[in-house]
Structure 1
Amino acid sequence: MASLRDLGLSEYEARAYRALLNTGPTTAKELSRASDVPMGRIYDVLNSIEQYNLVRSQTASRPKKYVAVEPSTALDRLLEDKKRELDEKAEQYESIVDDLSDELDAAEPVEEQFWTAAVGPEETTDLLLERLSAADRRVVMVASHQSPQFDISEVGVLITEQLEEALSRGVEVDLLMTPGLVDSLPPAVGKRYRRSLSDHPDFNVRTTDAISGTFNLIDDIEVCIQVPNPLDADEPFAMIDLKDPEFAADVHETFQPTWEEAEPLSF
């Protein structure tokens, strides 16, 4: 059950405010009895909820009297305070992330061979988006007509967003697709491509029928290879991520002639 404590009030503050709603204008002594807040704490509690703008006081009277602000106004004020706190926390965390990013990026990358794999559509997409976000220099994406990377609207939009972010970091992106995949692009992806990607000088798209698989080459040292579902080739089964500069160089050497012979795409 929701309570005023969920919006930041202490137990005593919540009791005092609720009691004021029932008593109407009253003194601190009377409120202490009505709310079961100890007399030794009641003034501190009243000062606190007055700072929240939940009560108004009549300073001219002796003894001083207090009255509760209407509940709808009080709740709105508490909500605004919480939103402000969350915004401040978000800014604080963003600053921490920026500082840590600079510190962690300064570390020398490990060049040893390493591989990992993700199994299942969601896990496969998450791994691909993660590796695209790690690109510093270049991304090569090769996608056949069987690729689920672009033919599922939500996934396609997520990947397009990641490519936009990569381009904004100065990453060069080369995308090679089959003509059949181009025809199957969902409208949201095609629209975003035309608006945000097609005119970018570091984004190049070509098409060819001479590809049958799907993989992604990242910074010339890492390859993400899609493994199709053996029971349904249109669905992803797994993604293998292999960090191996020698293997990546071989993949690029094989890719380059196909890229050069492919046709530039224009929407």
Structure 2
Amino acid sequence: MIDAQELTGLGLTSYEAAAYLALLERAELTSADVAARAAIPRQRVYDVLGSLAAKGLCLARDGAPRAFAAVDPATALELLAREREAALVRQGEAGLALARRLADSLGPLFAAGRGETDPLAYVEVLSGPRRIAGRALALAEGAKVSVASAITPPMILSLEQNRAFMRVPLGRGLSYRALCDDGVLADRALAAFLGELRPLGLTVRRVPALPLKMQIFDDEVVLLSMQDPAGGAPRFTAVVIHNRGVASMLGLAFEHLWQGASPLGEER
């Protein structure tokens, strides 16, 4: 027997789930029967059945008394899941639009509340792969001229997140250089992924080893991702620095390594 709680994963309330299960057990039931079988208060059962009908899970049949019948779950539940998925997409898009609008409105307030000498005005500290991945994707979307990446395992972003992170700048024709070490290229999936992006304009060179992960955006913003020294599963802390001097200094280090690196596919 299916637990009514499982149906709440499709967006039903506990009363709606219990009522739908009760309706499935009989060809049709009156509202009083549904209330008794599903343990729903009589004053609530009409609202519950009306909601089920609106979601396409039951049909009302005129009569005296009025009866209700369940819709076949083979079709009703799939449609319900698709509608819920579409609603979540709309909700996510609305939330993202709201976040961007609020960020634009609150940005001046944030800037006004900090003096020019405040060191935190140009430094962000991030922890956790989700926050780091989200900030990295936002920086990639905001890049206008170039991206330079130093890539070494273990990876923080998933393969799909890396694909989005790199395809967005490449799709806009930006200069994108990736400096990888042997640990990255030893991973067949990552090596194939980098090869897939080369026709889009990605330039890849290899060195034996890199000390940390780094991305430089437009020679203005740097993202440094550092692995925590504690043992166990890899954990990272990332620092975003909005400072041209720091970006320039780290850019010199990148260029030094780049000049001594081998193009992907060539022997050192």
Give the structure-1-normalised TM-score: 0.63
CA distance in 2, matches of 1:176, 1:133: 21
CA drift of 1:192 comes to 1.7
Is 2:27 aligned against 1:8?
no
Q: How many residues align?
A: 244
Structure showing greater relative contact order (alpha-carbon pairs closer than 8 Å, 6 or more residues apart): 1
Alpha carbons of 1:205 and 1:125: their partners in 2 closer, same or farther (altered >3 Å)?
farther
Alpha carbons of 1:166 and 1:104: their partners in 2 closer, same or farther (altered >3 Å)?
farther
Aligned to 1:115: 123
Letter in 1 for 2:132: L
CA distance in 2, matches of 1:125, 1:27: 49
CA drift of 1:90 comes to 1.6
Matches within 5 A, 1:1-267: 1-3=3-5, 6=8, 8=12, 11=15, 14=18, 18=22, 21=25, 31=33, 38=42, 49-50=52-53, 52-55=56-59, 57=61, 63=64, 66=67, 68-69=69-70, 73-74=72-73, 76-78=75-77, 80-98=79-97, 100-101=99-100, 104=103, 114-117=122-125, 123=128, 127=132, 130-135=135-140, 136-137=143-144, 138-143=146-151, 147-149=152-154, 155=158, 158-178=161-181, 180-181=182-183, 183-184=185-186, 186-195=187-196, 197-201=197-201, 203-208=202-207, 212-214=210-212, 215-227=214-226, 238-266=237-265
CA distance in 2, matches of 1:33, 1:3: 17
Alignment identity in percent? 18
Q: Who wins on radius of gyration, i.e. which is larger?
A: 1
CA drift of 1:166 comes to 3.5
Alpha carbons of 1:169 and 1:236: their partners in 2 closer, same or farther (altered >3 Å)?
farther
Alpha carbons of 1:105 and 1:218: their partners in 2 closer, same or farther (altered >3 Å)?
farther
In structure 1, stretches of 5+ residues that fail to align are: none
Q: Name the SS of the counterpart of 2:87 in structure 1.
A: helix
For residues 163-200 of structure 1, the C-alpha deviation after alignment (integer angstroms, 9 at most, x for no partner) is 2233235443211234x34652x1111222222x1111
CA distance in 2, matches of 1:49, 1:125: 36
Report the aligned-residue RMSD: 4.7
Q: Name the SS of the counterpart of 1:83 in structure 2.
A: helix
In structure 2, stretches of 5+ residues that fail to align are: none
Q: Would the aligned equivalents of 2:179 and 2:258 in 1 still touch at CA under 8 Å?
A: yes
CA distance in 2, matches of 1:127, 1:56: 51
Q: Would the aligned equivalents of 1:139 and 1:172 in 2 still touch at CA under 8 Å?
A: yes
Q: Would the aligned equivalents of 1:156 and 1:189 in 2 still touch at CA under 8 Å?
A: yes
CA distance in 1, matches of 2:130, 2:44: 56
Q: Name the SS of the counterpart of 2:4 in structure 1.
A: coil
Letter in 2 for 1:256: E
